[in-house]
Amino acid sequence: MKGAPAEDRAAAFLTGLGREVLARNYRIPGGEIDVISRTPEGVLVFTEVRQRGASRFGSAAESVTPRKLALMHRAALTYLTRELGRDDLPCRLEVLTIDGPAATGTLRVIPLD
């Protein structure tokens, strides 16, 4: 798995924020959520992890397309209904970016509306 080191760092970072990691690499046909966590307040957070080792093709944040966001939304809704049996729980989407090497690059969390 090419993105495993970045996803490992992201999961450790989110745990350090006090979140409980509930699932990693949750897949549905056509979509995936890299990390699903729950905040201490009980909010579910669906996180897309993006890492770019070099900036010649743009930043990690620039690699998130509207199509990817739509697939994330669909995968999150599927998780809520299939795994938890309801779709009215407090939740949000975010992108966690790492610009530079997975282990040492600059990490940033971008909440999505």
Q: Is the pLDDT of residue 9 over 70?
A: yes
**What band does 35 get if pLDDT is binned at 50, 70 and 90?**
very high
Q: What is the pLDDT of residue 2?
A: 61
Rounded distance between C-alpha atoms, residue 96 and residue 58, angstroms: 15
Burial annotation 46-58 (CB, 10 A radius, 16+ → b, else e): bbbbbbbeeeeee
**What band does 113 get if pLDDT is binned at 50, 70 and 90?**
confident
Q: Is the pLDDT of residue 1 over 70?
A: no
Q: What is the pLDDT of residue 106?
A: 94
β 91-99/44-52 pair status: parallel
Which two tokens mark 15?
């745990």
- Got the DSSP string for 88-112? -S-EEEEEEEEES-TTTSEEEEEE-
Q: All domains of the chain, ordered by start, with CATH? A: 4-111 (3.40.1350.10)
- In 3D space, the residue among 43, 53, 6 whose CA is nearest the CA of residue 25 turns out to be 6
pLDDT per position as a tens digit, 52-110: 887 777 888 888 889 999 999 999 999 999 999 999 999 999 999 999 999 999 999 99
